[in-house]
Amino acid sequence: MLRKITDQAGDVWEIARGHESYGAMVILFCRRSDQKVMKSYIQSDNALDADREIDALSDQALRLRLNDAQPGP
């Protein structure tokens, strides 16, 4: 887990970096209450850059990404 945020409904989401089988990097959002997973693609080419990109996002930016995220793996 890199970060955690609370959404507008009061649910806590843990945030981690992930990658897909073809190498695309994603932000993974995992809701604590039921382990629902959502994903949002990021531009980074490697894990270190992806971690930096996630760290640079504000909590509000992460909430916006979560709102637009797709169902996870």
For residue 5, list its beta bridge partners.
Answer: 13
* Interval 10-32 mean pLDDT: 93
Query: Global pTM?
Result: 0.91
Q: What is the mean pLDDT of residues 26-32?
A: 96
Q: What would the mean pLDDT of 30-57 be, rounded to a whole number?
A: 94
pLDDT one-digit tens code per residue, 47-69: 999 999 999 999 999 999 999 99
Residue 29 has what pLDDT?
Answer: 97
Q: According to the model, what pLDDT value does residue 39 have?
A: 96
* pLDDT at residue 2, rounded to an integer: 82
Compute the radius of gyration of the chain from its Cα atoms.
11
Coil, strand, or helix at residue 32? Answer: coil
